């Protein structure tokens, strides 16, 4: 367990309680881990991606500190929301890039074996986002599990804690969601 986890949780709860100064003390504690998550996201992007991990962290963090209605539970909850925010930043970036090119080449993201798609295949990030929205409409829990595991890099155990379900349920739903996404993405 990260030695700073109790401190991060304390700061998050202070922030939830309205202490805006808590946000300033949070960033130094979470920056390195957020940067790792951002780098993980960007490793799955095309090699010439214009967004760098530091910029992705900064954009996501700016969006996070504007959130006022979240009652932060703990470190895992924060990183789950942060990873979701990074995904939205990347999707917005891809949409902007596509608009700038007047509909030209959609941004590609390589989905690794963690999601069990055909290894090495590239998938359109906007198509993946649409598939994730469809999955959420059908099964919100599976969608959240994919979000937390694949995009957030959370372990099975951390995902179980955030969603208040058993690790066995996470594993089962993870397998089902990956299979559904694989079929959905393969049919395109």
If you search the block for the tokens 């949070």, which residue do you land on?
26
Alpha-carbon gap, residue 35 to 155, rounded angstroms: 17
Alpha-carbon gap, residue 41 to 152, rounded angstroms: 9
User: Which residues are paired to 124 by β-bridges?
Assistant: 108
The answer to whether position 15 is within a domain reads: yes
Alpha-carbon gap, residue 4 to 30, rounded angstroms: 9
29 and 97 part of one domain: yes
Query: What CATH number is given to the structural domain containing 146?
Result: 1.10.10.10
12 and 45 part of one domain: yes
Residue 133 contacts by C-beta under 8 Å, 6 or more apart in sequence?
A: none
Two tokens at 69?
A: 């209605």
| Per-residue pLDDT tens digits for 46-103 | 666 778 889 889 999 888 888 767 888 888 889 888 888 888 888 888 778 766 554 4
User: Which residues are paired to 108 by β-bridges?
Assistant: 124
89 and 151 part of one domain: no
Total domains in the chain come to 2
Give one word for 106, left, alpha or beta, with left for phi > 0 and alpha for psi -120 to 50. beta
The answer to whether position 111 is within a domain reads: no
The answer to whether position 115 is within a domain reads: no
8 A C-beta contact, residue 153 and residue 40: yes
69 and 162 part of one domain: no
Residue 120's pLDDT is: 45
- Bigger pLDDT: 163 vs 153: 163
Residue 175's pLDDT is: 93
Residue 140's pLDDT is: 92
Q: Is the pLDDT of residue 159 over 90?
A: no
| Per-residue pLDDT tens digits for 92-144 | 887 787 665 544 444 444 444 334 443 444 456 777 788 888 999 999 999 98
pTM: 0.66
Average pLDDT over residues 140-159: 85
80 and 151 part of one domain: no
Alpha-carbon gap, residue 185 to 187, rounded angstroms: 5
What is the extent of the structural domain holding 147? 121-188
């Amino acid at each position: 367990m990260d030695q700073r986890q109790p401190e991060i949780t304390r700061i998050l709860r202070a922030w939830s309680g309205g202490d805006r100064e808590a946000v300033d003390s949070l960033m130094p504690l979470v920056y390195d881990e957020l940067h790792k998550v951002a780098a993980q996201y960007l490793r799955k992007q095309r090699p010439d991606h214009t967004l760098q991990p530091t910029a992705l962290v900064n954009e996501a963090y700016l969006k996070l500190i504007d959130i006022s209605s979240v009652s932060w539970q703990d470190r895992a909850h924060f990183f789950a929301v942060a990873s979701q925010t990074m995904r939205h930043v990347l999707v917005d970036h891809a949409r902007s890039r596509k608009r700038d090119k007047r509909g030209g080449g959609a941004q590609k993201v390589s989905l690794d074996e963690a999601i069990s798609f055909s290894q090495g295949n590239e998938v359109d990030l906007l198509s993946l986002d649409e598939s994730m929205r469809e999955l959420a409409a059908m099964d919100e829990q599976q969608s959240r599990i994919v979000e937390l595991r694949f995009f957030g890099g959370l372990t099975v155990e951390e995902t179980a804690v955030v969603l208040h379900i058993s690790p066995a349920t996470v594993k089962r739903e993870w397998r089902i969601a990956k299979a559904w996404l694989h079929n959905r993405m393969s049919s395109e």
